[in-house]
Every structure is written in C-alpha cells, then in structure tokens.
Amino acid sequence: MQATTVDTAQLESFNPATGEPLGAVPVTVPEHVQGMVDGVASVQPSWAGLGLAQRGAVLERAAQVVLDECDEIRDLIVREQGKPRNEAFSMEILPTVDALRWIAKSGAQILAEEKVPMPQVFLKTKRSALVYEPLGVIAVISPWNYPWSIPLGEVGLALMAGNGVVLKPASLTPLIGERIVSVLERAGVPAGLIQVVHGPGTGAALAESSVANVFFTGSVETGRSVAEACARRLKGSVLELGGKDPMIVLDDAHLEHAIAGAVWGGFANAGQTCSGIERVYVMRSVAERFIAGVVAGARRLRVGDPMSWDTEIGPMVSAEQLEIVRSLVDDAVAAGAELHCGGQVEAPLGLDGAFYAPAVLTGVTHDMRIMREEIFGPAVPIIVVDSEEDAVALANDSEFGLGASVWTADRARGERIAGRLESGMVWINDHMFSHGACQCAWGGVKDSGLGRTHSKFGLYECVNVKLRAWEGSTVRDAWWHPYDETLGRALRATAQLLYGRSSERAAALREGAVPLTRLGARLARDAFRR
C-alpha cells in the first residue's frame, strides 16, 4: 500500500503485506530544508574536531547498537518494506554491522594524512602531504528497496569523514529512516548532526540547498535532475540509478551453481533490487537444462507473509510496483515470449498486499520492453545464445551498466569476458554479493550513475582532498625570476639529464655545465644573503 499524507503535516507508513498503518512522521516543508542544513552545519565542526579515532569509535559503537537491536530493526524492515525476515537480516542488518566496523577501522587509515613522495631532484627541499578534510554537510537521498543498508552505509561514510548529514528516506519507508538516526545517536553521534526530512519536494530542496554533496539512489530521471541542480551550484553528486544486470552462463559453468545463483539473484527481495539479475544469456548447449532448473527453482519459492520464517517471496512494495512488473511480462507474452511460471497471485490468507509469484520467460527478444526497461520485480527473461561473442554483445546492448555476472569454470575466461562488459561491477560465479562488503566499490556506468559508494572511493566522495606543501625557504626555486639565457639553458640541460635518452646525457652535461654552474652560484649567493 502506498504511503500517503494523512494531513498536511503527517506522512503515514503502511505495511505492504497487510495494509495496516505502522506510524506517521512529520512532513518537512521544502522551504524549511535549508534551515535544517544550517542547523547541521552548526554542529558539524565540533564533530570534525574529534579526529578519526574518536569518530571511528562512535561508528563501532553504532555497529554494536545495531546488533543489540537487530531483532527489532529486522522486523521493522519486514513490516515497512516487505522483504522476508531472513533477507532483512542477511541483506540489510548484517551488511551494515560489517560496514560500520570496516568504515571505522579502514576509514581511519584511508583518511589519515598521507605523505607524498617528492623524488624530483629540483623539488628535494619540499615536503608535501594529502590531507582529507570534511566537506561540511552531505545529503543522503535513499530508496525504499534497501531502506536500511543503503542509507546507513552512506551516512556512515559521511560521518567517518567528519561531515554532518541530512537524510531523506523514501516516502514508503520513513520509519526506517528515523530508526537510523536513533541508532546513531544512541551510539554517541551528537544530537543535531543528522537531520531527517520527509515528504514531497524535500529531495529537490536538498539538492538546491547548501549541502556540499548529494548521495542519491533512485531513478534515472530523478537522478538526472539531482545532478543538474548540483552542477549548477558547482558541487558534487554520487548517483546510483538502477540497472539491468545481465547474467552470462557459459557452456562450462557449474550448472547447478548457476541455476541457484539465477534464482537467488533474480528473485531475492521479490526482484526489487537495482543489481538483481534482469537478463540471462545462456549458451545453447546447456540452455535446456539451465532453463528447466531455473523454472523448477522459481516454482519452489514460497510466496507469503514476510514475517514467516520460511517465506522466500514477500509482497511487492506497492500495487503500483506490481503493475509495472505485470505490464512488462504481459507485453513480452503478447509479443511471443513464453511464460513458464509465475505471475500475479492473490494475497495469502490474512494478508492484503500485492503479490507476484516468480516468473521465468523464454522466447524473448531484445526489442521487447522487458529486455530494455528496468523490471524491478520477480521476473527473469532468458535468451539462448550460440556464442560468447553474442552473449557479450547482447549484455552490452543496454542503457544501463551497473553490474553483470559471468558463470564459468574457467577463471581466465571469466576474467577476459569481464573486461569486455560495460558495467561498474562484474562477478564471476556469483552476483551482487559485494554490496554487503563495504571495502568493495559500488556504482555503475552509462545510465546507472556516476561516482562510487562504499570502499575508499566512497570515502573520497565525502572529503576535500587538499594538498599541503612545505618549503624550508633556504633556497629559492631555480625557475623564479630573473629570466635570462642562463636560466633557459640550465632548464633545458636539466630536462635532458633527468629525462632524456641515456646516450645523449653526456652531451647534455657538457653543453649545460656552464649555465648550470652559473645558476647554482646565483642560488647559493641568494641563500647566503638570507
């Protein structure tokens, strides 16, 4: 059931499985967003002043708080978003516990002051370092499909780098956004360092506010508007805009492993995953067995109440999302595709949500909408190919480029194909697991977005990388004024001696001896006068 405004001041959240109301949060007036950003900015300097070790200690405590409250948080995710209990833990809770610990420990090393070697002879008197300074206030605009792990990981990166945060949760999952702030404040994050905004227009207001960077996860259309607003204000944005991930199954793949991977990668979270498997290209020699295995696996998945421990497919987050999936599948079938299993089903007894059983299709072609548009639901279309070349060409024939997977027993072959795929991530004999490993970069190419979250690159998105250089001022730089022929000849000789062919260095030394000596004497006189 879609979250709605109860009145002009409240946004109410509903359980997508039962339709029952779960609670409400105040709607933020877009005109008030800048004031909230200013409030966070007033608290942020004291947080930045704590230093890396102290900020990391707070994030480690936050990881423990998540563990302490994991059952409550898990069930809140289940009730508000609809994924089954086991997925709420394995795909949301556990990854954030690990991420907060990794950010705290590795972040202290990654963001520590870094000496820059100065090997050039003419720069030997100088000392340089890279320092990583917080940007100030960072906005995190998060989606409903992973309403805990996506925003909490990005908030953790921003906090470790010394920033404050304004979080805009999806309107379908506002209570989870509020719980994130509660967890972090319980761990010791200062009150006011993280603010939450809710409701229509607040995402756009954040992009147009004085925040220094925006982490946005969502649709291409909205992401483009966020990027444009940020570009007009000469600030950064990190965009994760969804995907159309291909799975390539080669003739030497461990077939049972590939079948299990296709079922999980295609149907986990009811297919509502930006990097879920949305297209499969399988070699003809193994296609019959592979398709039969995927169909059998899809039929075994249990659709039902996500609060039940044995449920594997919960409800779609909304009736609108189910309609998108149904439309794409029906369009493919009308155009000649074969639906082997799945489709819309009535809500199980006692429930009132939008349920769609896992669907497997064959006979699809690349001009069908289901092969070009993001499904974001439990439907996996499969195309049989005759060669590796065909598989790679079809996999790259998409506006999206988030993730991709190759399934083969030959590691070298898999890595060679991985190098040809147009995507931000490629997994060999697995799919999308690395979102749960914060040390791994996450992000895409083409319409899947810009920038990276997670990893050292996600931390770098949260800082100003500043070069700090020191000169002892004993000797002035050789290339300073006055300019004359002696300086010109000395510079040329220096370049030849340092970078020229070894066979020409002796001649360069002979030709440059006099101007180099004169320049050296000039610099020595200047140093002596000081």
Set 230, 274, 438, 462: catalytic member:
274
Please state, in angstroms and as integers, the Cα–Cα distance from residue 43 to each residue in 19, 36, 51, 191, 231, following that order: 39, 11, 15, 8, 26
Contact 398, 377 (CB under 8 A): no
| Cβ(336)–Cβ(298) below 8 Å | no
Tell how strand 213-217 and strand 21-26 pair up.
unpaired
Alpha helices, DSSP H, located in 5-51: 33-48
- Look up residue 510 and give its two tokens: 């002979």
**Which position among 12, 178, 240, 278 bears the catalytic label?**
240
Closest CA to 472 of 129, 125, 128: 125
Tokens of 61: 């405590």
Half-sphere exposure of 145 (CA within 13 A, CB side): 19
The question of whether 274 is a catalytic residue gets the answer: yes
Q: Residue 144 in 3-state DSSP?
A: coil
Helix (H, G, I), strand (E, B) or coil at 249: strand
Angle between helices 149-160 and 52-68 (to 10 degrees): 160
Q: How far, in whole angstroms, is CA 227 from its chain's centroid?
A: 15
Check residue 136 and give left, alpha or beta (phi > 0: left; psi -120 to 50: alpha).
left
Active site residue 240: yes
Using an 8 Å Cβ cutoff, are 55 and 111 in contact? no
Contact 154/458 with Cβ under 8 angstroms? Answer: yes
With contact defined as beta carbons under 8 Å apart, do 303 and 313 qualify?
yes
d(CA 376, CA 312): 16
Q: What would you report as the CA-atom Rg of the chain, rounded to the nearest whole angstrom?
A: 28
Backbone dihedral angles phi then psi of residue 61, each to the nearest 5 degrees? -65, -35
To which H or E segment does residue 289 belong?
helix 284-300
Residues with a known catalytic role: 240, 274
